Amino acid sequence: MVGPIEPHLQYGFVCSTVLQEKDGVFSFVRVVNQAEITISGTEPPETLPPGLVPVTIVMGWGGGLGTHEAAFNIICPGGETQLSPQTWSFNLEAIHKTHVIVAQVPIKVTRPGVYWIEFVLNGGIKGRTPYQILYRRQQLRKPG
């Protein structure tokens, strides 16, 4: 066997639903790049309160051989980094194989803006994608 060959990021994105069929084939439903948070009330907050936004992050690694370790980081609009909650070790036994990682995680949201998802392999950043958080206030009339 040839020594390890580092795979490349074939795809990395956020989606709503991931289906895996009996034959192992994946279907990705509603690939998205933003979420809108709406707060309704008679006095909704002027700024977005801190919270968690659940996302499904998908990474597809291929074109390599050997054992590798993948992760992702989230870069917040203010520059803070949320480190990956875990790493995923995988082995590619043939150059034509792909390894898919599906991670359902919450993003810690402190303000609206673009949150960059960095895709990491063996400690190095191999790609990134934006995920925008929008905030909308919906002011309701006071009863009476």
72-114 per-position pLDDT tens digit? 999 999 999 999 999 999 999 999 999 999 999 999 999 999 9
Q: Where are the domains of the chain?
A: 8-139
Contact status, residue 125 vs residue 118, Cβ threshold 8 Å: yes
pLDDT 10s digits, 27-82: 999 999 999 999 999 899 999 999 999 999 999 999 999 999 999 999 999 999 99
Per-residue pLDDT, 6:
95
Q: Of how many residues is the chain composed?
A: 144
CA 45 to chain CA centroid, nearest Å:
27
**Distance (Å, whole) CA 24 – CA 11:** 17
Residue-level pLDDT at 141: 83
Which CATH topology does 8-139 take? Immunoglobulin-like (2.60.40)
Check residue 85 and give its pLDDT: 92
